[in-house]
Amino acid sequence: MAQPSRIVSVTSLAVLTAALAACGTPQPPAEQVVTYPSTTTVYPTQPASYVEYGRVSNIEVVRTEEKGKGSGAGAVIGGIAGAVIGHQIGGGSGRDLATAAGAIGGAVVGNNVEKRNKTEVHETWRVSVQVDRGGYRAYDMDSAANLRVGDRVRIENGQIYRL
């Protein structure tokens, strides 16, 4: 028959592992943010030396959110903390099992927390131009520079120049 202390330590280990796993699940965002890929750029299909003229019809800021990559520090710190907590549970071989499970659970939770806290936001400006020949062109730029809605522009080789 199993000893009562062993049953208690195995049950405690299961509860602790479930609690640590629940801490590591990502929470849904409080508000929905619509993002666009920053690599989406629409260029004219004409040859590279083609020049068009038009008028800026819209300028908008496009924010892209990228999940950061963990450095591993969160996993290491979480693993150490989990091992310390797991070592406090049980005795004998149950203690060794609890220590190992605590280390693994802590590493997973620590890594998830580190990744969640390293979100990077990039801003680009999408400049829409109504060209004189009809139609629209949209360009993603690092900066809107001195462009304003209504400005007359020249588009040459995928670059926008204010006239």
* pLDDT on residue 23: 59
Domain residue ranges of the chain, discontinuous segments joined by +: 1-23+68-118, 40-67+120-163
Q: List the chain pLDDT tens, one digit each, 163 residues.
A: 556 666 666 676 666 666 656 555 455 444 444 444 444 455 555 555 678 899 999 999 988 877 766 677 877 888 888 888 888 886 777 888 888 888 888 888 888 887 777 777 788 889 999 999 888 889 888 887 788 999 999 988 878 888 8
* pLDDT on residue 68: 66
* Residue 20 exposure: Cα atoms within 13 Å on the Cβ side: 26
Strand (E) positions, 30-135? 51-66, 120-131
Record: fold of 40-67+120-163: OB fold (Dihydrolipoamide Acetyltransferase, E2P) (2.40.50)
* pLDDT on residue 36: 45
CA gyration radius, the chain: 28
Question: How wide is the angle at C-alpha 25 spanned by C-alphas 19 and 26, nearest 5°?
Answer: 150
The reported pTM is: 0.43
